[in-house]
Structure 1
């Protein structure tokens, strides 16, 4: 299957997965302690770097969990997502703008926002070219000196999630090797396009014209364990936050996390793409 056809398949799967099969809002708020950890970490990383009353574009913002908290903090937030059901749910918050849109073709003028969030689009995009387009579009709509926050799923943690508690097969499956070597998804219901290493993610941001790239784990080394914790345990959450804050920036260690964060700054001459060009429709 060629790249274009493969991405079309992923785009179609995204619509089904997030509209009918998976509750993204519950993942961040009630499903497990991992969601609470992720939510706190993302919000604090944004708060530490973005000025008050900023214009923020939440690209792939799903049902608006992050957008709602940013709006409560006084920011002017616009959310886009390719799944209409997610956008309908996001609009119920009533504190920010939400619309259907595609991360690869943002329908906003250049320099419209002070910061952009990409929490999801990159791991739903199969090819480096698609991911670069997504990053360049985010940079285009953010003012010079503004920040683009990008989330990725590390290939090492994905390998652990696929293989832990399984017998080690002989020979080792080629799809598991491809996951580690190339970030190739192994199948399953989740509509994945690619899994990153921290170094690869940094390279993609730099190639898209961003600079001063900062890399850190979101949940950190305790995140996978907290996926199995359903009850509210403040002490456990506090311990996980301390680990993430203290060790999440360390090379190698930062890849042992459910989600990796890259933060890049927009240059004065960041790549500007033509917002009227034709493109696919499916990744937000």
Structure 2
């Protein structure tokens, strides 16, 4: 976990969502679709709080947790800067596998949009989802992010030198089997776990959730910078049409494997 904390200590996660707005905009569309009208929301593994700030603007009571203390501090500072601090019940540095500081059944909805990326042991992934289940109210809605293994295989084939050690077919084959990725270059995205898409719904359902939807947060992730620039340069009208297309195609099960991230939406059931 120390490598993960070190990575996020130096990585600009807020800036990433600003530079790559499609993921945030698609996710937010589907989050708003399923959110309750009011209540208490947990943003677990929130990073600097990009989603938390939107939840606060919508009038929810928000509790923010993240493994990295620096990001928790950044999130609280952002909330103050944006005049949203009063909407937050708490900011905590916490491991997603142990939310013992939070009481059971507290939240009307909960987000977990990062922790499962970095839990390489199955027992830890189960703990994290069970903790999410515990702190969510009965029939509460959860939003959980996953990274698809198929997309990382494609990315490794497309840019092998950017994804060492996945710069050989043997390494890619090993990754395809395990889903675990540890970057060979120090300071790069590492300690990661990628799910096979067909395993996501059974995994969540086995841990107490009813599946509502599984969507691709950015089905346009394979587009080059040049392609995106072309559409962005055609003006706001074309950008909005492109975004609407990505939102529409996000729910297409045939495109999940090319999305950089997936968003699982479920309801807590005992």
Identify the TM-score tier after normalising by the shorter chain: 0.7 to 0.9
Give the root-mean-square deviation of aligned CA atoms.
2.2
Measured in 2, the distance between the counterparts of 1:236 and 1:196 equals 33
Please state how far the C-alpha of 1:258 moved relative to its aligned partner: 1.0
Query: Secondary structure, in 3 states, of the residue corresponding to 2:120?
Result: coil
Partner of 1:102: 95
Q: Paired residues, what number?
A: 249
Q: Deviations over 1:164-199 (max 9, x none)?
A: 1559xxx96222112223322152421233101221
CA contact (8 A) 1:151 1:261 kept: yes
Measured in 1, the distance between the counterparts of 2:177 and 2:254 equals 15
Q: 1:60 aligns with which of 35, 45, 48?
A: 45
CA contact (8 A) 2:182 2:192 kept: no
Q: Deviations over 1:130-160 (max 9, x none)?
A: 1111011001101110111110111111122
Change (3 A) 1:181 1:51: same
Task: Within 5 Å, give how 1:1-284 maps onto structure 2.
Answer: 11-20=1-10, 22-29=11-18, 31=19, 35-92=20-77, 93-94=79-80, 95=84, 96=88, 97-106=90-99, 107-165=101-159, 173-185=169-181, 187-188=183-184, 189-220=188-219, 222-225=220-223, 229=228, 233=233, 234-235=236-237, 237-267=239-269, 269=270
- In the superposition, the TM-score normalised over structure 1's length comes to 0.81
- In the superposition, the TM-score normalised over structure 2's length comes to 0.85
CA contact (8 A) 1:55 1:114 kept: yes
CA contact (8 A) 1:205 1:213 kept: no
CA contact (8 A) 1:67 1:79 kept: yes
Please state how far the C-alpha of 1:59 moved relative to its aligned partner: 0.5
CA contact (8 A) 1:149 1:262 kept: yes
Unpaired runs of 5+ residues, structure 2, are: 162-166
Unpaired runs of 5+ residues, structure 1, are: 1-10, 270-284
Change (3 A) 1:129 1:166: closer
Change (3 A) 1:237 1:126: farther
Measured in 2, the distance between the counterparts of 1:226 and 1:55 equals 39
Measured in 1, the distance between the counterparts of 2:264 and 2:41 equals 17
The structure carrying a bigger helix percent of its residues is 2
Structure 1's consecutive aligned runs of 4 or more residues displaced over 3 angstroms after TM superposition are 226-237
